[in-house]
């Protein structure tokens, strides 16, 4: 739906829109100057270890202002850290940008959340609660389902 931009505008826009998510921007005409954040596709693979677990989710920003995920907390973990994966090595980050009209994706093999100092070991079928804190927007609470240890979101198994 952004194909109708004039070429000059498209060039400038392309930089900001490279990570624009597919589909869900249904042209509500919303041009507010705030970030409009929502969370989807969250899951935790049932951890194999009793003291650490990973978590994945997608944050979509339908607003015209970028925001930044600055911290994550959970009821099941003493600490939740945010990591990126660069060239196979993971690196702890203190924040992740959520681009305007874009997405911040945490997925297996890429950016991920790490739940440390687990208070109990999450089991498949349970849910864990997360609180996401942002630089500008109010916090979001996420009920993250615990899936099998080998869950693959693209097949749903």
Binding residues (CB under 5 A) for Cu ion: these are 83, 90, 114
What residues contact 58, with CB distance under 8 A and at least 6 apart? 21, 39, 40, 41, 42, 103, 104, 105, 106, 107
Q: Shortest Cβ distance from residue 92 to Cu ion (Å)?
A: 7
Question: Judged by CB, which is closer to Cu ion: 91, or 143?
Answer: 91
Closest CA to 130 of 68, 53, 62, 35: 53
Q: Shortest Cβ distance from residue 83 to Cu ion (Å)?
A: 3
- DSSP states of 2-27 as a string? -TTS-HHHHHHHHHHHTTPPSS----
Which residue number has the CB closest to Cu ion?
83
Q: Shortest Cβ distance from residue 112 to Cu ion (Å)?
A: 6
Question: Judged by CB, which is closer to Cu ion: 90, or 97?
Answer: 90
Q: Shortest Cβ distance from residue 146 to Cu ion (Å)?
A: 18
What residues contact 134, with CB distance under 8 A and at least 6 apart? 35, 37, 67, 68, 69, 70, 98, 140
Question: Judged by CB, which is closer to Cu ion: 2, or 93?
Answer: 93
Rounded Cα distance, 103 and 101, in Å: 7
Question: Judged by CB, which is closer to Cu ion: 101, or 151?
Answer: 151
Q: Shortest Cβ distance from residue 149 to Cu ion (Å)?
A: 16
Question: Judged by CB, which is closer to Cu ion: 61, or 74?
Answer: 74
């Amino acid at each position: 739906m952004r194909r109708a931009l004039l070429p000059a505008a498209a060039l400038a826009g392309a930089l900001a829109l490279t990570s624009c998510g597919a589909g869900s921007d249904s042209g509500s005409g919303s041009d507010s100057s705030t970030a409009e954040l929502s969370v989807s596709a969250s899951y935790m693979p049932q951890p194999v270890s009793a003291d650490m677990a990973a978590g994945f989710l997608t944050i979509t920003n339908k607003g015209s202002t970028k925001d930044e995920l600055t911290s994550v907390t959970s009821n099941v973990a003493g600490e939740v850290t945010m990591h990126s994966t660069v060239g196979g090595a993971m690196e702890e980050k203190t924040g992740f940008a959520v681009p305007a009209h874009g997405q911040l994706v945490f997925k297996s093999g890429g950016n991920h959340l790490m739940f440390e100092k687990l208070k109990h070991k999450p089991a498949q079928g349970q849910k864990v609660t997360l609180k996401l804190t942002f630089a500008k927007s109010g916090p979001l609470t996420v009920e993250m389902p615990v899936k099998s240890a080998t869950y693959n979101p693209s097949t749903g198994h």
